[in-house]
Amino acid sequence: MIGYTCKYTPIELLAGFGGETFLLNDEADNFDYAQRVSHINLCSHAKALLEYVNAHGLKEIVLVNCCDSTRRVYDVLAEQGMDFIYMMDLPHENNECSRQYLKAELLKLAKAYGRYTGRKFDYELFAASFDQMQRASKPMQDFIAIAGGRISDGVFDKIAEQTGMLTVNMTCNANRCLDKPQNLQSADFDEVMEWYAAELLSQIPCMRMSDVARRRELTENPYLKGIIYNTVKFCDYYGFEYENLRKEVSVPITKIETDFTMQSYGQLSTRIGGFLESMGMSSSAAGGSVAKGESKVENTKNKKGKYFAGIDSGSTTTNVAVIDRHGKIVDSVTVRTGAKAQRGAEKAFEALKIPRSEISSIVATGYGRNNIAFADDSVTEITCHAKGAYYINDEIRTIIDIGGQDSKVISIDEKGNVKNFVMNDKCAAGTGRFLENMARVLEMSIDELSTIGLSWHEDLTISSMCTVFAESEVVSLIADNKSVPDIVHGLNKSVAAKTSNLVSRVGLASRVMMTGGGARNKGVAGCIEDLIGEKLIIPDNPDLCGAIGAALFAAGR
């Protein structure tokens, strides 16, 4: 079997020599091997490719010189030795000169593969292979498109499952579309390869091509209801198109970044869930994941109960808010989540004053939202924070939430509906985890950290946005006998800078509310106000915002 990676790969030509091909598009469990044999900053697809070849002992591969990463993969595999490895040079244009150039490349590949197989080219096999090849389709029913850079099969399937509707893969290597050759009998091989080169280059161009105007065809479909635009970590080709597309298309669009592992799906599902909810759809077509009845807290679903509860299951704390039928908050609690979201939620319910039996409906949100068996439903924290903030103050149009392991900025309209959101869930910088780490380094409590920076004198700057490097910067400032209030102020400024970047990406609209554990940090809040030029509204209990939103959804059920 010959592995290939790109829609411009002449797989029908290989089929003409009896070759069987398959698209290499699997995730990797990790990149340990790839990072041993190549550079750590190789794009995640290239690393997954090396992992696959190594794990499956693949012996034959045809690559297209798409980018530096693909060329590095070729170098590594060629050095290791494979039965058949070939890199085809692909022009960036679709004009007469480039068609002739590609034809020459096809002739070279045909010679190399013919020599390797010892077989002659079979026109019938070549023609027949066009029927077997998957062709990009034009959906004639409502659908969501996954566009942009290549997405791994497993992540695509997960997203399609989460949308619960027709989801079409329109990423770079999925929208392959070639017409069948006609009158092959009368054509010689040279003419066939000339036609074939033109056919390959006449596909809807990918972002590597210099003329990408026809890419508009991908999103010009009346049945298109939304776009999830995929970018691949460390891949530059697809970063730019999103910004243009966002301004052009009339359907909702959101951007995700994937890295050819499944590990990142947990965070991804929140983004996609928030996007689906902003389109008025459920965030999880599959609903809760833990089997019902596993919990010690019985889900009595008694319509008689006069209260509704929301659980915000975060990585650090679990917050529960209980409201009555008039929407009044009648009880709330915050506990450490601990190792299991389920146990965290149980502890929270045990700590509530209002007995479980009087609660008729429960909605969960936060990272653990799909892992709480006694919840009746789950909604992403994007939509719950929007609902909770709007409930607390309906003048709010922007919400800044700094949680335990992510920070997010959400913009809402005059009715409290989510208009747009951005998240920083890729790294701990700028999150509660970052502040906890720095409190540990400075040997103080998180409460002390939240105010000590207010008495700063020397305006120090912590340049690194990465928690690890910021820690070494703090250690060297301590070694330089810099005062602790000045160091903490420097840290507050770096968190504020990260947060205000998110605000500028979503667009600042007044009034602005800050929620989450990070809102308790007066130093950080002050620095954010300085950067965005807006006085922040901070609710009495900023941790509770998501849980209040979830309780309101429970009441609406």
Where on the chain is the footprint of ligand SF4 (CB under 6 A)? 5-8, 64, 66, 90, 150, 172-173, 206, 208, 237
Residue number, 231 or 431, with CB nearest to ligand SF4: 231
Any idea what DSSP says for residue 438?
A: H
CA–chain centroid gap for 333, Å, is 31
| Minimum CB distance to ligand SF4, residue 243 (Å) | 18
Exposed e or buried b per residue across 405-418, where buried means at least 16 C-beta atoms within 10 angstroms of its C-beta: bbbbbbbbeeebeb
Least distance to ligand SF4, CB of residue 113, Å:
19
Pair of tokens at residue 434: 């970052």
Close Cβ partners of 496 (under 8 Å, ≥ 6 residues apart): 524, 527, 528, 530, 531
Per the listing, tokens 């009087």 go with 358
Shortest Cβ 235–ligand SF4 spacing (Å): 8
Considering all CA atoms of the chain, what is the largest pairwise distance in Å, rounded to the nearest integer? Answer: 87
Tokens of 175: 């929208």
Considering the complex, state which of residue 174 and residue 495 has its C-beta at the smaller distance from ligand SF4. 174
Q: Give 244 or 461: the residue with its C-beta nearer to ligand SF4.
A: 244
Least Å distance, CB 196 to ligand SF4, is: 17
Q: Please provide the DSSP assignment of 457-490 as one string.
A: -S-------SHHHHHHHHHHHHHTT--HHHHHHH
Residue 90 Cβ vs ligand SF4, minimum distance, rounded to whole Å: 6
**What minimum distance in Å lies between the beta carbon of 288 and ligand SF4?**
37
Integer Cα distance of 72 and 39 in angstroms: 9
Residue type, 536: L
If the CB atoms of residues 149 and 314 are measured against ligand SF4, the closer one turns out to be 149
212 vs 509, beta carbon nearer ligand SF4: 212
The Cα-based distances of 4 to 24, 62, 397 in angstroms read: 6, 5, 48
CB of 29 to ligand SF4, least distance (A): 23
β-bridge mates for residue 311, sequence order = 320, 364
Rounded to a whole number of angstroms, the minimum distance from the CB of residue 32 to ligand SF4 is: 24
Which residue type does 124 have? E
Q: How many CB atoms lie within 10 A of CB 261?
A: 20
DSSP string, 386-435: HHHHHHH-TT--EEEEE-SS-EEEEEE-TTS-EEEEEEE-SSSTTSHHHH
* Closer by beta carbon to ligand SF4, 58 or else 206: 206
Q: Kindly tell me which of 9 and 284 has the beta carbon lying closer to ligand SF4.
A: 9
Could you tell me the two tokens for 421?
């959101």
Nearer Cβ to ligand SF4 (58/204)? 204
Q: CB-wise, 5 or 383, nearer to ligand SF4?
A: 5
Q: What are the angstrom distances between the C-alpha of 267 and each of 133, 145, 274?
A: 34, 20, 11
Nearer to ligand SF4, 206 or 410 (CB): 206
Find, among 283, 296, 290, the residue nearest to 553 by Cα: 283
Phi-psi region of 21 (alpha: psi -120 to 50; beta: other; left: phi over 0): beta
For ligand SF4, the closer of residues 8 and 126 by Cβ is 8
The Cα-based distances of 1 to 53, 77, 114, 552 in angstroms read 12, 16, 15, 55
Cα Rg for the chain, rounded, in angstroms? 27
* DSSP-based three-state secondary structure for 444: coil
Q: Which residue lies nearer to ligand SF4 by CB, 64 or 554?
A: 64
Nearest to 432, CA basis, from 397, 388, 400, 457: 400
Q: How far is the CB of 328 from ligand SF4 (least distance, A)?
A: 55
Q: At closest approach, how far in Å is the CB of 27 from ligand SF4? A: 17
